[in-house]
Structure 1
């Protein structure tokens, strides 16, 4: 009986040794907690600054000024700014054309002053004078017209673009108008000579 017990015990030891070959090794120590690195800060690109529009070929640009409308009489101002690098000399009246929204010419008679348009002072009166604009300086031009339809058989005219030759031989400059020159069918536009701005 004692021999059997010893034999059984030996068998158990041998079986344990054999089984030990199949027992997986003890698991390695679990890795420590990962160090979470904050994502690199992203620097938002600054929006590009709004670049000033390029100066036109002739060295001047046009800007639409304030206007006024009362009882069908329209008055508006246009500014000419010297955006070039050299002095710009004006004298007298510019040459003006009106274009419609498709840039087709509008039939209009351009007169100096307000004769035939209104007898009241309108700001387009004045004697032509020489105006010299240094870079950055501006001159102004007054316009006056009536929005009247006196003949229903004649289509009303409306200018959406001002095409200006500031002085003889100078390149033309265009200005898209926010407020149209609504001539009705009067067909007449009065303008002032160039005037130096005092402000």
Structure 2
């Protein structure tokens, strides 16, 4: 059962390349508590406004650079050793928001990426967070003079958030996307489904998928193919469809496959995909970052059984 928005889970930290979440960043009323983030060492603690001065505003009332503000997220202060930011939910329902920060040297060289996630952020609410810039990263490249920027912001409705662990959701099904693979313009991402409930779930061949744009609107111009044979063979998306009775504890997998082929015309990009395991299943919004090029085709493979001892990759950073 997902907690109500008034009992939001706190901010969490994860390095962009790390496969698992690090310890949670606890937000208290008087400031941020010290915790460990996998992008480096412990987060700094202190009160808001202690990280320096706000970034300069754009001249003439122009919007701030997307490096400082995008998707309801703003870097509000930066100084030697730390930076502060805030995440605002402008939607009408609770959202989970994931932010990828890039750290650069004073000369502009990329040093490190840090990921922070706010879960169950209530409509109209704002969460404030803080990142430590002085703790060395994997190659001891981060310094107190590192400059933060926003690389990417992704958000999904809390009610549709992927679930790879924790309490079993009300649907009795866990569904999430793995990190996928890419080679020579060919992309493939696995959808993993696990029956964590008490009833048998019957899968009817193919998952239902709906590509969404950056604003969570259905993306026009995408043709959904049943199976991936028209795109490539050997991807895991070409098995014939079958009905599967998924008993409690059992799992299944389906594969999304596409090509990033660009020719004449505008490329199609769908950061999000709304997935239903069956026609009457609750929707789950995953973030496979579909870069469909100008082909406009997405192959969705049929569900196949996944052994109970299989260990699918954890969900990717949005």
Q: TM-score, normalised by structure 2?
A: 0.42
The answer to whether the aligner puts 1:144 opposite 2:254 as a matched pair is no
Could you tell me which residue of structure 2 aligns to residue 69 of structure 1? 182
Could you tell me which residue of structure 2 aligns to residue 194 of structure 1? 303
Aligned partners of 1:136, 1:116: CA distance in 2, in Å? Answer: 33
Query: Which of structures 1 and 2 has the larger relative contact order (alpha carbons within 8 angstroms, sep 6+)?
Result: 1
Aligned partners of 1:62, 1:133: CA distance in 2, in Å? Answer: 13
* Higher CA-based Rg: 1
Aligned partners of 2:168, 2:270: CA distance in 1, in Å? Answer: 25
The answer to whether the aligner puts 1:94 opposite 2:204 as a matched pair is no
Higher strand fraction (1 or 2): 2
Aligned partners of 2:256, 2:284: CA distance in 1, in Å? Answer: 16
Could you tell me which residue of structure 2 aligns to residue 176 of structure 1? 286
Q: TM-score, normalised by structure 1?
A: 0.65
- In structure 2, runs of 5+ residues without a counterpart are 1-164, 311-318
Could you tell me which residue of structure 2 aligns to residue 127 of structure 1? 240
Could you tell me which residue of structure 1 aligns to residue 100 of structure 2? none
Could you tell me which residue of structure 2 aligns to residue 165 of structure 1? 276
Could you tell me which residue of structure 1 aligns to residue 96 of structure 2? none
- Could you say if the C-alpha distance between residues 189 and 63 of structure 1 is closer, same or farther in structure 2, counting changes exceeding 3 Å? same
Deviation at 1:90, TM superposition (A): 0.7
Give the length in aligned residue pairs: 144
3-state SS of paired residue (2:248)? coil
Higher helix fraction (1 or 2): 1
Could you tell me which residue of structure 2 aligns to residue 109 of structure 1? 223
